[in-house]
Amino acid sequence: MKIFISFFILFIAISTLSYAGKLQMEGSQFDLSAASTTTCKNKTGNIHGFIEREMGWSYGGFDIPISGAKVTLDDLHRNFSDSTETNSDGYFKFCDLETSYYLVTANKKGYDTAKYVLPFQRREKGLNYNYYPPEDASMQLYKKGKSPEKNSKITCSLIAIREDIENIKVTLKGMQTKYKVNLTTDTGLISEFDDLKADTYLLTAKKGRKTKTKRIKLEKNMIYQFYIQW
């Protein structure tokens, strides 16, 4: 029995080291540029990421890349769409994009669909912004019918140039689920809401007499990111 346990531990350790060696990481984040097989002419207008299958500690604590997944990009403000497939590392990239809101959709036979809505700010030379919306649209896919009920996420970022945006009360309320959470912004200016069910949510940011609202239709397996100009 002791021999079997020792062999099992050794197998897990070797598997972990072997798979870890295939991943290139920068700090706690994947080095997206290292996995790229697509060369973009303009490095300031790109959305990229990894499509992976969540496996947890059964595979050494790493997620397994999904190759051959179809990834579709839709501009929510313009009549523009594009599509690509993930490479052997589960990596995808869309190049030379304009400032807008984008919907990234990942599909693979045998898996539930995942979606990512994100604001994208093209980094034009000469402009000095203190905040750039994220360009990493990595997602996890679950086996068909195996997606958790509470696996969606909303992230709201507040942006202001001359106004104090600390101590703003942010409230997220679900219309059907009766979900309600109150937060107060700090210097991070980012409000995150995890483990959400599919629902229509109303986000309200309020300070004094000033109020901003945003209605979000959140689907299952969706990450929804946006910013509010305060």
Instruction: Please state, in angstroms and rounded to a whole number, the distance separating the CA atoms of residues 61 and 229.
Output: 38
pLDDT averaged over the chain? 78
196: β partners: 152
Residue 28 has pLDDT above 60, yes or no: no
Angle at 154 between CA 208 and CA 36, to 5 degrees: 130
Domains and CATH numbers, the chain: 24-147 (2.60.40.10), 148-230 (2.60.40.10)
Predicted pLDDT at 199: 97
30: β partners: 25
Instruction: Please state, in angstroms and rounded to a whole number, the distance separating the CA atoms of residues 32 and 37.
Output: 10
Residue 14 has pLDDT above 90, yes or no: no
Residues in Cβ contact with 102 at an 8 Å cutoff, skipping those fewer than 6 apart: 47, 73, 74, 75, 76, 117, 118, 119, 120, 137
**What is the mean pLDDT of the segment spanning 36-57?**
72
How far is C-alpha 186 from the geometric centre of its chain's CA atoms?
22
Q: In this predicted model, what pLDDT tens digit does every residue of 143-195 receive, in sequence order?
A: 999 999 999 999 998 877 667 777 889 999 999 998 999 988 775 567 889 99
The token duo for 112 is 């539930």
Higher pLDDT, 60 or 66: 66
Sign (positive or negative) of CA dihedral 47, 34, 147, 113: positive
